[in-house]
Amino acid sequence: MRASIASFLSSALLLTQQVAAAPTNTSITNETTVEDIGGGASARTLGGASIFEWTYKRWNGANYACKCAPGDLCWPNQLQWKLLNATVGGNLQVSIPPAASCYNTFQGLLGNISTYDAAKCAEAQANFPSEQWQIELPTAGLWTYFTNDTCRPTTNPTDSCTGGYFPTLYIKAKTIAHIQAGVLFAKNQNLRLVIRNTGHDFLGRSVGWGALVINTHGFKDISLTNSYRGACDYTGSAITVGAGVQAFEALKKLNSLSPPKIMVTGECATVGVAGGLVQGGGHGPLTNFYGFLADTALEFKVVTADGVLRTANAKVNPDLFWALKGGGPSAFGVIVQATYKTFNDYFSSGTTFALGPANVNGNETLWWDAIAKFHSYSNQFVDNGLYVYYEIYPGMTFRVQPVVGVNKTAAQLEAILQPLFDDWTAMGITFDKATTTYPTFYDLYNALFEIEAAGNSALTGGWTFGKTDVANNNAGIIDSFKNVLNNGAFLVGHMWNGGHGLPQSEWANSAINPRFRNVSDKLITILPLAGNAPLAEKEAAQRVLTDIVDGGLRAAGPNGAAYINEADPFQPNWQTAFWGTNYPKLLQIRQKWDPSGVFYSVSTPGTEKWEQIEYGTRLCKKL
Ligand SMILES: Cc1cc2nc3c(=O)[nH]c(=O)nc-3n(C[C@H](O)[C@H](O)[C@H](O)COP(=O)(O)OP(=O)(O)OC[C@H]3O[C@@H](n4cnc5c(N)ncnc54)[C@H](O)[C@@H]3O)c2cc1C
Ligand SMILES: *[C@@H]1O[C@H](CO)[C@@H](O)[C@H](O)[C@H]1NC(C)=O
Ligand SMILES: *[C@@H]1O[C@H](CO)[C@@H](O)[C@H](O)[C@H]1NC(C)=O
Ligand SMILES: *[C@@H]1O[C@H](CO)[C@@H](O)[C@H](O)[C@H]1NC(C)=O
Ligand SMILES: *[C@@H]1O[C@H](CO)[C@@H](O)[C@H](O)[C@H]1NC(C)=O
Ligand SMILES: *[C@@H]1O[C@H](CO)[C@@H](O)[C@H](O)[C@H]1NC(C)=O
Ligand SMILES: *[C@@H]1O[C@H](CO)[C@@H](O)[C@H](O)[C@H]1NC(C)=O
Ligand SMILES: *[C@@H]1O[C@H](CO)[C@@H](O)[C@H](O)[C@H]1NC(C)=O
Ligand SMILES: *[C@@H]1O[C@H](CO)[C@@H](O)[C@H](O)[C@H]1NC(C)=O
């Protein structure tokens, strides 16, 4: 999400202040009613290790067993929290939203806390859109819709600041033992557990109402080797990263080598490389060459749901290894360390261009025709190894920045693009383009991929088109793009094919949906909406996104797939859309490694019965 889009979003949303007064009753204290429908809460032993209890609820005519939340009888008592805090070296803290310092009182689930601090508020005001500022806050969510947009920066300290969907407490883990203690505490006390690395998540998976968070962002170790020796035949260069390492840190270190090395990361330099990215797959500008980040993984160290630290590689726990490679974030364990293949870096060229009203004489029909022509080349672009990042949003704004040609001179790259440019010229379109060659891909990455912004609120979804879809139905795809814009959303496109460079013999080594091996365009749809909009408005917008906006893309691309990390949390037929024929095996692996559901993130294997009832708050299992 670029600064350009961020400004579009903020003008669309007027998100500078808390708009609706938060209902006071969201701050649950001792009055919480625990509706006992049988089973009930049993006697507790003070400070005892393992008491597995549920809070039973009825919601929309169904019965649920819910994880323990503040105010419930089964929520741990003071002594139990004290013991946990001692076990994690005093690193247990109450979660406070990023801009709570602008409010007199933070009314969280654990009670009121005085929070006003003029200096900290000024810092929050100035830095709210900064990704890295939000990343360093232990429980912030960069996309705020799923925090319920509570406690945004305000100039009125008497405004109401409630907990929204922010978690309740967090462990700022400094050692693996802290992570193990957190997993075991959440398991034994039956608490909702959230793993939080950078907080980039589009689907709300790094926050969660009532949850205990394990923050893994402090694990910043990086080590490099030129001759990996491990459980597989690979003996080339590799990087080992701690759970908190971000792409820009790993890439900088690799670039400092002689000769410089590179690894697969996302296009966004602040996303973590050992957390959600690899567990969702992880596509980026090098995906045409080496597949997904997951395809380059050699080994993980992971804390599983029983609190045990395990190795997962091709020989040891190979089922877990396979599932961690694209099977879904926070579903099989907490990754504490990951090792990936690295590659020689090559000179690379990048081209940028854009089409606005001035390029088409203000003729919107012509503008769409130009986009249709561009899109009809998707298959040729990826067949030539190109990666293309582009945005389409209202006001006839079409930006392509950049087209990436790794190991290509400017002349080679422009030769691949020339047929498109010739077509545009023949259509009467005038345009500027710029192509630059850089000594390495790393230099191109830093120069051409723009800084992205935090603090946006929107629903996201998306779909990926198969090469067959582009070949057979490009006009239908463009109609589905028009439908996206006509319904108030916009598009971010990424052209790549996860099967282009990776040998077919390796495709099944990770849990990535096999369909991603023959695609050419992965779209994100973004529907701006304030997280504090009225509930009815939220429900209506969600239906528009799922059924109309994404529904149109799905209908236009029957050979496509959905990408779990850039998706609609309410994706229909999510099992097939995200994992295709790999789903049954993933489900078995989930049941083996996390039979009781210690981990949760929406629409990941084995979560069929889990729901966030009571308007996106309590995490419960349908009975
Ligand atoms: C601006 C932007 C650009 C993006 N660009 C790309 C892109 O180019 N390619 C791409 O593939 N994706 C991209 N993404 C999506 C990205 O893959 C996801 O947001 C990803 O989940 C982020 O992982 P994280 O660990 O950094 O973030 P977090 O939000 O902290 O975590 C995301 C999920 O992973 C889980 N998780 C985190 N750490 C661990 C761990 N150690 N063990 C177990 N579970 C863990 C969390 O519980 C959560 O479910 C982009 C996202 C944004 C916001
Ligand atoms: C809050 O709860 C009280 C008592 O349960 C109820 O009378 C009141 O209507 C509630 N207020 C809101 C805003 O829901
Ligand atoms: C909540 O319960 C505790 C212990 O049971 C009690 O000390 C406290 O006063 C109660 N708080 C409120 C707001 O009722
Ligand atoms: C945990 O212990 C530290 C250090 O003693 C303390 O500062 C912190 O407030 C404690 N956390 C909680 C939630 O009480
Ligand atoms: C918490 O703070 C709010 C806002 O200041 C106030 O209305 C409410 O009475 C407080 N609740 C308690 C239990 O102190
Ligand atoms: C979340 O926001 C909605 C309005 O969009 C509000 O009705 C609801 O009470 C909020 N819930 C929490 C837990 O903040
Ligand atoms: C706009 O462009 C379309 C497609 O090229 C063309 O058919 C139409 O005549 C143009 N409209 C105007 C007003 O020029
Ligand atoms: C780089 O491109 C040249 C052709 O321009 C090709 O011969 C060579 O194999 C490529 N190198 C890699 C690593 O792809
Ligand atoms: C990939 O899609 C193309 C275009 O439809 C098709 O020709 C080819 O057979 C497909 N390849 C595989 C491996 O499915």
The answer to the question of residue 589 being in a domain is: no
Domain end (from 189, 215, 241): 215
Residues 385, 356, single domain; the answer is: yes
Residues 189, 108, single domain; the answer is: yes
Using the predicted structure, report yes or no on whether residue 46 has a pLDDT greater than 70: no
Residues 402, 485, single domain; the answer is: yes
Which helix (H) or strand (E) segment is 126 a member of? helix 118-127
Domain end (from 187, 215, 243): 215
Note the ligand closest to the C-alpha atom of 109. 6
Ligand 2 atom nearest to CA at 24: 13
Using the predicted structure, report yes or no on whether residue 126 has a pLDDT greater than 60: yes
What is the count of structural domains for the chain? 3
Residues 489, 555, single domain; the answer is: yes
The answer to the question of residue 601 being in a domain is: no
Mean pLDDT of 116-139: 97
Domain CATH for 353: 3.40.462.20
Q: Are 321 and 314 in contact (CB under 8 A)?
A: yes
Check pocket membership of 83 for ligand 4, CB cut-off 6 A. Answer: no
Question: 548 lies in which domain range?
Answer: 348-440+448-581
Secondary structure tally for the chain: helices H, strands E:
19, 25
CA of 567 to the centre of ligand 9 (A): 24
Q: Which of 26, 151, 152 to mutate to test the pocket of ligand 6 (most atoms within 8 A of CB)?
A: 26
Domain end (from 286, 319, 344): 344
Domain CATH for 324: 3.30.465.10
> Which residue would you say has higher pLDDT here, 339 or 3?
339
Residues 325, 430, single domain; the answer is: no
Neighbours of 38 (CB within 10 A): 7
Rounded CA Rg of the chain: 24
Q: Are 528 and 458 in contact (CB under 8 A)?
A: yes
Ligand 7 atom nearest to CA at 361: 14
Mean pLDDT of 132-153: 96
Q: Which of 10-14, 468-472, 590-594 has the lowest mean pLDDT?
A: 10-14
301 contact partners, CB below 8 Å, separation of at least 6: 176, 309, 310, 311, 312, 335, 336, 337, 338
Ligand 5 atom nearest to CA at 112: 1
CA of 265 to the centre of ligand 1 (A): 11
Q: Which of 24, 25, 27, 107 to mutate to test the pocket of ligand 2 (most atoms within 8 A of CB)?
A: 25
Determine which residue's CA is closest to atom 7 belonging to ligand 5. 24
Using the predicted structure, report yes or no on whether residue 477 has a pLDDT greater than 70: yes
For 351-372, write each residue's pLDDT tens digit: 999 999 999 999 999 999 999 9
CA distances from 342 to 206, 235, 237 (A): 28, 11, 5
Q: Which of 40-49, 243-252, 431-440, 460-469 has the lowest mean pLDDT?
A: 40-49
Residues 178, 271, single domain; the answer is: no
Residues 393, 352, single domain; the answer is: yes
Residues 332, 368, single domain; the answer is: no
Pairing of strands 343-344, 261-262: antiparallel
423 contact partners, CB below 8 Å, separation of at least 6: 373
Ligand 2 atom nearest to CA at 31: 5
Using the predicted structure, report yes or no on whether residue 47 has a pLDDT greater than 50: no
Neighbours of 82 (CB within 10 A): 13
Residues 20, 150, single domain; the answer is: yes
Check pocket membership of 380 for ligand 4, CB cut-off 6 A. Answer: no
Ligand 3 atom nearest to CA at 31: 14
Using the predicted structure, report yes or no on whether residue 58 has a pLDDT greater than 50: yes
Residues 249, 161, single domain; the answer is: no
Q: Are 188 and 84 in contact (CB under 8 A)?
A: no
Q: What is the pLDDT confidence band of residue 535, given thresholds at 50, 70 and 90?
A: very high
Its pTM stands at 0.91
- CB within 6 Å of ligand 9 — which residues? 467-468, 471, 518
d(CA 546, CA 558): 16
> What is the amino acid identity at position 522?
K
Here the tokens at position 330 are 């926070």
Q: What backbone torsions phi and psi does residue 153 show, to the nearest 5 degrees?
A: -55, 140
CA of 92 to the centre of ligand 4 (A): 6
The answer to the question of residue 612 being in a domain is: no
Check pocket membership of 405 for ligand 1, CB cut-off 6 A. Answer: no
**What mean pLDDT, rounded, does the chain reach?**
92
Q: If you write DSSP's letter for every residue of 418-465 in order, what string do you get?
A: HHHHHHHHHTT----EEEEEESSHHHHHHHHSPPBBS-B-EEEEEEEE
Residues 415, 452, single domain; the answer is: yes
Check pocket membership of 78 for ligand 4, CB cut-off 6 A. Answer: no
Residues 373, 338, single domain; the answer is: no
